[in-house]
């Protein structure tokens, strides 16, 4: 036998459909709720279940669900008057039962306000009625933001907190989830669809990570002879890198001790921070070498780096280096990655070996004289 709690749960589950129907004009009520007609074998339990359903019905309370019943011959209890159907006759009955009458009224009011100011959102609102409700107290400010982006937006001019919109300075940051959905609908031609971060997606200025690099050839003139420099991505993109070779190194100390190399600069990769390098288009024309720890994560970073710059070559990331310093191995970190698409055949075999045997050779453990020799032999 269905219980009142089950009726309530099933009623709440159809709430989004009720909201949509109220916006489209679809006839939704009366609405029948599927009922379980299986009776408890114990007569006392069955009687209590039926009594509870009837006690919470519209017939007793004046609102809510109506119960249709009929005398039914049962195997265990002979002929009994059993509920055969549960239905909400009107929208008002339904909303009072689930306790959403006030929320529904505000939903209707907000929908009319939004539709009047931004009719372009009507179809989106019909598809996402719960978003209207979950942001019920913010629509006045949300619409201000939407209208600004729609009418006055200028790319790459403002930081998020300096947008000339009459909302408090943290409002947009606190509501990026709903704003992204709305702006995706309103200005698809102005955004960068491949970007997930709000500022980048909607072309706002943002606090950028710094990229640290060293000139490895003293004859290179980049910034008045300064050989250790940190710049934002934008600044570095504007700086002419008059070198032929770029050596990207994961670990800081190894980055600092890369030996002098003709026509080369060294960049501190900062582990998976190499993702930032994909924005430096100058690197597309450079000869790139990548050096990281000899472990599964290091091989993942190599594959990632090569996905940005296919010409990337690995250095000091091979079986020869690994086996030369067997005494320095430590236990590697596990990974769920099974295959790396941007490794060559030898690198893939090395990745499998490191993964299967849980091996890690840290960059810092390799002697400097060995590093210098290999770099000078391969690059110098």
328 and 216 inside one domain: yes
Q: Is the pLDDT of residue 91 over 90?
A: yes
- Quick one: pLDDT at residue 103? 96
Query: How high is the pLDDT of residue 72?
Result: 60
Q: Beta strands of 31-148 (E only): which ranges?
A: 31-33, 66-74, 78-88
Neighbours of 134 (CB within 10 A): 12
Give the residue, 46 or 29, on which the prediction is more confident: 29
Cis before 30 (ω within 30): yes
Q: How many residues can be counted in the chain?
A: 380
pLDDT in tens, 144-156: 999 999 999 999 8
Average pLDDT over residues 248-273: 94
Residues 226 and 310 in one domain: yes
Q: What pLDDT does 226 receive?
A: 83
The predicted pLDDT at position 118 comes to: 96
292 touches 298 (CB < 8 A):
yes
Assess whether 185 and 240 both reside in one domain: no
What is the reported pLDDT for 354?
96
Domain edge (last residue) among 146, 174, 201:
201
Confidence of residue 42 (pLDDT cuts 50, 70, 90): low
pLDDT at 265: 95
Nearest 5°: phi and psi at 352?
Answer: -60, -40
Buried b / exposed e along 144-165 (16+ C-beta atoms within 10 A): ebbeebeeebeeeebebeebeb
CB atoms within 10 A of CB 111: 20
Residues 168 and 302 in one domain: no
Which residues, other chains included, contact 335 with Cβ-Cβ below 8 Å and sequence gap of 6+? 296, 297, 300, 355
Q: How large is the average pLDDT for residues 317-328?
A: 96
pLDDT value, residue 340: 95
Per-residue pLDDT band at 332 (split at 50, 70, 90): very high
What's the rounded Cα separation, in Å, for the pair 378 and 380?
A: 6
Task: Please write the tens of the pLDDT for every residue from 157-186.
Answer: 999 999 999 999 899 999 999 999 999 999
Whether residue 42 is found in the same domain as residue 188: no
Q: Whole-number mean pLDDT of the chain?
A: 90
Which residues pair with residue 78 across a beta bridge?
74
Q: Please tell me the predicted confidence (pLDDT) of residue 80.
A: 58
Of the three residues 201, 234, 253, the one that is the final residue of a domain is 201
CA angle 146, 144, 183 (to 5 degrees): 10
Kindly state whether residues 91 and 168 are assigned to the same domain.
Answer: no
- Taking phi over 0 as left and psi of -120 to 50 as alpha, with beta for the rest, 25 belongs to left
Return the residue matching tokens 């490794």: 343
- 154 plus 250 within the same structural domain: no
Point out the least confidently predicted range of 49-63, 72-86, 123-137, 138-152.
72-86
Same domain (yes/no): 86, 147: no
177 and 218 in one domain?
no
Q: What integer pLDDT is reported at residue 56 of this predicted model?
A: 80
Is residue 264 a contact partner of residue 216, using CB atoms and an 8 Å limit?
yes
Give the model confidence (pLDDT) of 353-369 as tens digits: 999 999 999 999 999 99
Which domain, by its residues, includes 279? 210-378
Confidence category of residue 61, pLDDT binned at 50, 70, 90: confident
Q: Residue range 4-17: average pLDDT?
A: 92
pLDDT of residue 15: 96
Is the confidence at residue 83, as pLDDT, over 80? no
What's the CA gap between 183 and 191, in Å, rounded?
9
Report how far residue 380's alpha carbon sits from residue 377's, in angstroms, rounded to the nearest whole number.
Answer: 6
What is the share, in percent, of the chain residues with pLDDT greater than 90? 70
Structure tokens at 314: 């690995």
Instruction: State the Cα–Cα distance between residues 237 and 209, nearest whole angstrom.
Output: 13
Domain end residue (candidates: 74, 99, 124): 99
Percentage of residues in the chain with pLDDT exceeding 70?
A: 92
Please check whether residues 151 and 280 belong to one and the same domain: no
Whether residues 305 and 358 share a domain: the answer is yes
Angle 237-238-239 from CA coordinates, rounded to 5°: 95
Q: Where are the beta strands (DSSP E) in 115-258?
A: 210-215, 228-232, 245-249
Q: Phi and psi for 97 in degrees, rounded to 5?
A: -65, -45
pLDDT of residue 141: 96
115, 145, 87: which is closest to 22 by C-alpha? 115
Beta bridge partners of 266: 214, 247
Q: Residue 237 — very low, low, confident or very high, per pLDDT cuts 50/70/90?
A: confident
> Tell me, what's the pLDDT at 58?
86
Look at the chain and report how many structural domains it folds into: 3
Once rounded to an integer, what is the mean pLDDT over residues 112-125?
95
pLDDT in tens, 199-215: 999 999 888 889 999 99
Q: Which residue has the higher pLDDT, 260 or 69?
A: 260
The model's pLDDT over 269-289, given as tens digits with 9 standing for 90+, comes to: 998 889 999 989 999 999 999
pLDDT at residue 223 greater than cutoff 80? no
- The average pLDDT across 15-32 equals 94
pLDDT of 1 over the 70 cut: no
135: exposed, middle or buried (C-beta count within 10 Å: 0-12, 13-18, 19+)?
middle
The CATH number that applies at residue 326 is 3.40.1360.10
For residue 39, is pLDDT > 70? no
Q: Label residues 40-71 b or e (16+ Cβ within 10 Å = b).
A: eeeeeebeebbeebeebbbeeeebbbbbeeee
| 221 in the same domain as 359 | yes
């Amino acid at each position: 036998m269905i219980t009142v709690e089950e009726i309530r749960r099933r009623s709440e589950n159809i709430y989004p459909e009720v909201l949509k129907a109220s916006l489209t004009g679809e006839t939704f009520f009366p609405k029948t709720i599927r009922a379980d007609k299986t009776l408890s074998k114990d007569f006392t339990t069955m009687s209590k279940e039926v009594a509870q359903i009837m006690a919470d019905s519209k017939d007793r309370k004046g609102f809510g669900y109506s119960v249709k019943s009929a005398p039914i011959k049962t195997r265990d209890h002979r002929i009994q008057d059993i509920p055969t159907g549960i239905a909400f006759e009107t929208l008002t009955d339904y909303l009072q039962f689930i306790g959403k009458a006030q929320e529904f009224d505000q939903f209707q009011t907000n929908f009319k306000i939004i539709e009047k100011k931004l009719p372009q959102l009507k179809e989106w609102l019909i598809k996402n009625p719960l978003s209207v409700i979950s942001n019920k107290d913010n629509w006045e400010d949300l619409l201000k933001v939407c209208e600004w982006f729609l009418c006055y937006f200028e790319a790459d001019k403002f930081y998020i907190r300096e947008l000339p919109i009459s909302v408090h300075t943290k409002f947009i940051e606190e509501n990026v989830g709903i704003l992204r959905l709305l702006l995706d609908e309103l200005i698809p031609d102005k955004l960068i669809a491949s970007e997930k971060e709000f500022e980048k997606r909607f072309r706002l200025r943002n606090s950028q990570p710094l990229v640290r690099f060293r000139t490895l050839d003293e004859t290179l003139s980049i910034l008045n002879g300064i050989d250790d420099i940190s710049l934002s991505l934008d600044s570095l993109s504007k700086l002419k890198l008059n070198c032929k070779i770029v050596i990207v190194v994961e670990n800081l100390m190894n980055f600092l001790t890369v030996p002098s190399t003709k026509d080369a600069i060294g960049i501190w990769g900062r582990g998976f921070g190499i993702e930032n390098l994909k924005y430096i288009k100058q690197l597309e024309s450079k000869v790139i070498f990548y050096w990281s720890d000899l472990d599964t994560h290091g091989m993942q970073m190599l594959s990632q780096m090569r996905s940005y710059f296919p010409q990337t070559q690995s250095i000091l990331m091979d079986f020869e280096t690994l086996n030369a310093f067997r005494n320095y191995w430590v236990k590697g970190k596990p990974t769920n990655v099974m295959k790396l698409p941007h490794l060559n055949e030898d690198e893939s075999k090395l990745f499998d070996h490191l993964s299967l045997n849980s091996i890690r050779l840290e960059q810092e453990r390799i002697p400097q004289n060995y590093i210098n020799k290999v770099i000078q032999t391969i690059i110098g």
